[in-house]
């Protein structure tokens, strides 16, 4: 017998039994749609050898499916009120470990090395707490050497930024930070009604797969990300103005930056949002050589 935690009636029963009340400040919107969770898990193509990191297990709706399909699941949950509940709902599974930790405070590479066998694939699955979607994503992306695949539920609006292409109005530094490391696609668009309580916004399940050949050499990633932050600082402004704004300097500096743009065949009027990652990296390299 394996009753699904995500069945609305089962979820309600668990919440009632433990007298659980939602904390909005922790982004607690629980999934109560078994078909959707099934889609999420299929998007991950789990095999019995897979090891899974889950962020924010809640009462275990997703965790249960992961425990059934993967070799091992480690879940990070900040809300200690959920620990006795998870011990109850997941009692049937001996391959799940719940850690009462804040994902943003975990040193991820060390944590992964302690909890998992780094020689076998580690996948991340999570219905993210939306108040910290971006910092969690940035943290996961920084660990792509260890993480084969990331399947996460997030706000639809953020999902669109992740997959945006140059020239699109949602293309920005987050799109670049993600796409320089990973292929990003929206696997499923999800209505508010899949959750209790219902969030204010629509959601999407996003699949991120590590690129075999990352677009940016590992040694340059940090400096390039800083550069990207600078040139996208004021999206409506010309890239040149953002450079001057940040690095200062008078007409001489302006001329130097224009020359750099010209060297990579870019107009001085160009905006960062029009440039592909490869073009941005080309410009970064030129500016670096001229010691900006
Ligand atoms: N996985 C469950 C589901 O799909 O029904 C719950 C998802 S709910 C959107 C987000 C979960 O993340 C909650 O359980 C919340 O307590 C937890 N959470 C919030 N902030 C966290 C943090 N900083 N570190 C770890 N977990 C966090």
Q: Is the pLDDT of residue 290 over 90?
A: no
Alpha-carbon span 215 to 235, nearest angstrom: 23
What pLDDT, on a 0 to 100 scale, did the predictor assign at position 2?
A: 72
DSSP letter assigned to residue 1: -
Is 56 flagged in the annotation as binding? yes
Task: Find out whether the beta carbon of 157 lies less than 6 Å from any atom of ligand 1.
Answer: no
| Helices and strands (H, E) in the chain, number of each type | 12, 9
Q: pLDDT by residue (tens digit) across 153-163?
A: 999 999 999 99
Distance CA 99, CA 22 (A): 20
Sole residue written with tokens 């929206």? 186
Q: Indicate if ligand 1 lies below 6 Å from the C-beta of 78.
A: yes
* Number of other CB atoms surrounding residue 7 within 10 Å: 14
Give the pLDDT of residue 292: 63
The response to whether 31 counts as a known ligand-binding position is yes
Residue 108 class from Cβ within 10 Å (0-12 exposed, 13-18 middle, 19+ buried)? middle
> What residue's CA is closest to ligand 1, atom 1?
57
Confidence of residue 25 (pLDDT cuts 50, 70, 90): very high
Say what the ipTM of the complex is: 0.99
> Which range is least confidently modeled, 60-69, 89-98, 231-240, 247-256?
247-256
Closest ligand 1 atom, residue 56 Cα: 12
Q: What angle is formed at CA 107 by the lines to CA 106 and CA 110, rounded to 5 degrees?
A: 125
Q: What is the pLDDT of residues 176-213, one digit of tens each?
A: 999 999 999 999 999 999 999 999 999 999 999 999 88
Q: How much is the average pLDDT of 56-63? A: 98
Q: Is 29 annotated as a binding residue?
A: yes
* pLDDT > 70 fraction of the chain, expressed in percent and rounded: 99
* Span 258-281, average pLDDT: 96
What is the pLDDT, as a whole number, of residue 121?
93
Q: Is 241 annotated as a binding residue?
A: no
**What is the spatial distance between Cα 272 and Cα 230, in angstroms, rounded to a whole number?**
10
Torsion angle of C-alpha atoms 216, 221, 224, 230, degrees rounded to 10: 130
Per the prediction, the chain carries an average pLDDT of 95
Residue 155 is predicted with a pLDDT of 98
For the whole model, what pTM was predicted?
0.94
Q: What is the DSSP letter of 198?
A: P
User: Is any ligand 1 atom within 6 A of the Cβ of residue 58?
Assistant: yes
Query: Other CB atoms closer than 10 Å to residue 251's CB: what's the count?
Result: 8
DSSP-derived secondary structure letter, 148: E
Pocket probe mutation, ligand 1, options 26, 151, 154, max atoms within 8 Å of Cβ: 26
Cα torsion at 138, 140, 145, 148 (round to 10°)? Answer: -130
Tens-digit pLDDT profile for residues 105-144: 999 999 999 999 999 999 999 999 999 999 999 999 999 8
60 touches ligand 1 (CB under 6 Å): no
Other C-beta atoms lying within 10 Å of the C-beta of residue 111: 18
């Amino acid at each position: 017998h394996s009753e699904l935690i995500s069945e609305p009636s089962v979820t309600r029963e668990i919440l009632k039994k433990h007298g659980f009340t939602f904390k909005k400040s922790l982004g607690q919107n629980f999934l109560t749609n078994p078909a959707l969770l099934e889609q999420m898990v299929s998007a991950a193509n789990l095999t019995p050898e897979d090891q899974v990191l889950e962020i924010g297990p809640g009462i275990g709706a997703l965790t249960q499916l992961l425990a059934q399909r993967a070799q091992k699941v480690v879940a990070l949950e900040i809300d200690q009120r959920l620990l006795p509940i998870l011990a109850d709902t997941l009692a049937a599974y001996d391959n799940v470990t719940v850690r009462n930790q804040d994902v943003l405070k975990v040193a991820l590479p060390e944590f992964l090395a302690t909890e998992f066998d780094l020689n076998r694939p580690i996948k991340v699955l999570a219905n993210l707490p939306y108040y910290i979607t971006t910092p969690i994503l940035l943290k996961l992306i920084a660990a792509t050497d260890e993480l084969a695949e990331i399947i996460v539920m997030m706000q639809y609006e953020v999902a669109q930024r992740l997959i945006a292409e140059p020239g699109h109005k949602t293309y920005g530094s987050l799109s670049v930070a993600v796409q320089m490391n990973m292929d990003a696609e929206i696997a499923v668009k999800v209505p508010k009604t899949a959750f209790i309580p219902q969030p204010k916004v629509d959601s999407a399940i996003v699949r991120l797969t590590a690129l075999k050949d990352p677009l940016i050499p590992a040694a340059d990633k940090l400096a390039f990300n800083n550069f990207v932050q600078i040139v996208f600082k004021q999206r409506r402004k010309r890239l040149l103005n953002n450079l001057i704004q940040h690095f200062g300097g008078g007409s001489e500096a302006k001329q130097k930056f224009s020359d750099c743009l010209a060297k990579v065949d870019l107009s001085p009027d160009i905006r960062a949002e029009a440039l592909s990652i490869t073009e941005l990296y080309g410009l970064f390299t030129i500016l670096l050589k001229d010691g900006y």
